[in-house]
Amino acid sequence: MTQPMKEWMDGPGVASHRAPIEQLGRVAPRSERVERLLAQLTLAEKIGQMSQLTLPEQLEADPQAHARLLGELRAGEVGSFLNARDLELRNELQRVAVEETRLGIPLLFGRDVIHGYRTIFPIPLGVAASFDPTLAEAVATAAAREASEAGIDWTFAPMVDVTREPRWGRVAEGFGEDPWLASRFGAAMVRGFQGDDPSQPGRVAACAKHYLGYGASEAGKEYNTTWVPEPLLRDVYLPPFRACIEAGALTVMCGFNDLNGVPMSGQRWALRELLKGELGFEGFVVSDWASVEEMIQHGSCAGARDAALEAASAGVDMEMVSRTYRAELLRLVENGALPVAEIDDAVRRILEVKQALGLFERPYKQRSAPPAALCPEHLELARRAARQSLVLLENRGRCLPLSPALESLCVVGPLADDRHNPLGCWSFDGDRTATVTLLAALKQRLPAPGQLRYVPGVPDARSSDRSGFEAARSAVAAAQAALVVLGEDGNISGECRSRAFLGLPGVQTELLEQLASTGTPLVVVVMAGRPLTFAREAQLASALLYAWHPGTLGGPALADVLFGDVAPAGKLPISFPRTVGQVPIYHAHKNTGRPPRKGRRGIPTGTPLDPVDMDASYLDVDVSPAYPFGFGLSYTSFRYSEVSVSPTRGSFDTRFEVSALLTNTGERRGVEVAQLYVRDLVGSLTRPVRELKGIQRIELLPGASERVRFSLSASDLAFCRRDLSVGAEPGRFQVFVGGDATASEGAEFELC
């Protein structure tokens, strides 16, 4: 370790930079420092700043590869690394960049910190089920603290791809089907990661991804084509990115998809004109893993030269992993094919982000004392986040909450005592030894001998081994109640984890059928990274609790809710289909000229010559979802009434106040998420039947009432119109306030 690096690591001092950096002065405005640096960089060094490499896991075990990498660093050929998991290696590489290169520009270290670092929180789709953006901000703040002390400067999150496609594995990483909700959660995560000042200790740069329209991948297949007309792009897929930019996101990642025939890594209109121009994004754009080079496979580029030219021209400022920039950009500029001004724009953006993160002043990272990772505060937050994410879907005969006086409880299912899979996808940095399983949490609550028995039933969630069925059936038959934990393991959601069928994997349904034959009440807990189809399972269960992949403290959180210490209050951020054949299914659909009637199915009585009963329905399944967007039960019940709008007629400057009376009609304290939906009855382009425009979390004692209030302005009613301008249109609007997207209590107002 060199003396400057040692001084910084050992104390509060700042490492001595090489002369060119020192000459800039730390009191200089950021833009002045960056412009001076930019003027001193050679073209090759600029291209180095635009290049990000991944670090092999066993780099230090390969001396030749290690030496080769250090040589590239000293030559200024690398501006960023991802996957530097070791703090000492990270600081060693940073030392070479800061102390042994001509200009001493610090490196930027990125990592996929998606829903926690050492402490793993519920998957983002689960956090979205809380309908509480302040929770998402707290989760991101904790994740940033843990990641930062491990040497990470930059996380590739939040993912704000709106999707109506549960077959797509990456649905787990986002916030569901609704652009309004995804916008609030995305912005909250950005604030949590970056804080008010991203240069402060414990903060990391956020990266809004995957720009743009990636959630519309055809057939739910990873990396697939997306065809999205501009009005839909602006109304559904763009708003969360706009919200993240307004929240100050320092970086944006473009998607693997081709958008309307042009791969996003080469989409000049979307990147330069829309993102950097219209939306005013001032940070930098990074490609996804080798997505620049993959334009050759897409068939839009003939080779590396074309790919580098397309991406740099389009506005991809940093190339991740692949090396087309380093191989081709120098000659492209020298030959006049690529203006140097576009190179300068990219490098300027990268340097500004490095400066915003304080890397010029504090290039090295040191371990926190005490460490933030797995600290009591973060563990308690993980437990609270998991509790708030749980969604109660069924509760027949008030089977839940369980009585602590249960004489015997049988627990079945491999996920009940699994420290790995309940953490979900993108949890590779999580500490499995810190995971508290549901079984472990139950053992603390039911310590009496014979009160609790565990039988896995099947070896793992995807197994077809039925040899454990009989032991599980016998154990359940002898118990007063049974808790059956089913679902997906963490390895079948996330990137490149698309599924053609959405049922429970393996023989879990058969196991449940065997258990149901005993007559013992079954409480089914489902852990999964996406909406599943489980009509048969729901019929067999007395109660059904959806837990997503709940994270490090998922076990205690589940026990808290199962035994009634905390009432469930989660709501579905995505519609659950009855069958995969309904996909895509979502609440903000269009009405059609022959709208479907709820509950109607079968062959219509009419013909094309006399179209009686011919509407937008299925022959073989009800057109409605199994569980609608926003749905979630409590241990109490709520009633909405007296919905009103004031005024009922107003101009484009008017604020319309919507209110409703919410009453707890049950016998227990509970939290309800009141939801405001709007329908624009006539538009120059047809409008959705429901659009979410507001949420409020309300806690009420039994019998208590509270008036919930929302405010709407013309900007809340804006959409992409027929002429592609964005704004509201005069006309009549309906509002609905309720506990999910099927809310029927409503009122009307007119915008003049």
288 is catalytic: yes
DSSP H stretches of helix in 252-303: 268, 295-298
**Inter-axis angle of helices 133-149 and 376-389, nearest 10:** 140
Angle 175-176-180 from CA coordinates, rounded to 5° = 80
Report CA torsion sign: 53, 56, 57, 60. negative
| Catalytic, out of 258, 288, 345, 418 | 288
Rounded CA gap, 362 and 200, in Å? Answer: 10
Q: What is the CA 552 to chain-centroid distance, rounded?
A: 18
Distance CA 397, CA 404 (A): 18
Q: Give CA–CA dist 574/586, Å, rounded.
A: 7
Q: Kindly tell me the burial class for residue 271, based on how many C-beta atoms sit within 10 Å of its own C-beta (0-12, 13-18, 19 or more).
A: buried
What is 406-463 written as a DSSP string?
A: -S-EEEE-GGGG-SSGGG-SS-TTS-GGG---HHHHHHHH--STTTEEEE-SSSSTT-
Rounded-to-integer distance, Cα 246 and Cα 748, Å: 31
Give the tokens for residue 620.
């073989």
For helices 554-562 and 438-445, angle between their N-to-C axes, nearest 10 degrees:
50
Classify the C-alpha dihedral 597-603-604-608 as positive or negative.
positive
* Helix, coil or strand: residue 511: helix
For the chain, state the CA radius of gyration: 27
Task: Could you list the beta-strand ranges (E) of 229-317.
Answer: 251-254, 258-259, 262-263, 284-286
Can you tell me whether residue 549 is helix, strand or coil?
coil
**Which of 273, 320, 327, 328 lies closest to 292 in space, CA to CA?**
320
Alpha helices in 79-208 (DSSP H): 87-99, 124-128, 133-149, 179-194
Burial grade of 378 (CB within 10 A; 0-12, 13-18, 19 or more):
buried
- How far apart CA 129 and CA 106 sit, in angstroms, is 39
Residue 749's DSSP bridge partners are 733
CB 527 within 8 A of CB 534: no
Amino acid at 598: K
d(CA 690, CA 365): 48
For the chain, the first-to-last Cα distance in angstroms comes to 70
Residues pairing with 697 in the sheet: 673
**Burial of 663 from C-beta contacts in 10 A (0-12 / 13-18 / 19+):** middle
Strand 207-211 with 108-111, pairing: unpaired
Alpha carbons 358 and 69: distance in angstroms, whole number: 25
CA atoms within 13 A on the CB side of 178: 30
Question: SS3 of 748, please?
Answer: strand
Q: Is the peptide bond before 158 cis (omega within 30 degrees of 0)?
A: yes
Residue 458 has which token pair? Answer: 């099947």
Q: Which amino acid is at 561?
A: V
Cite the active site residues. Answer: 288
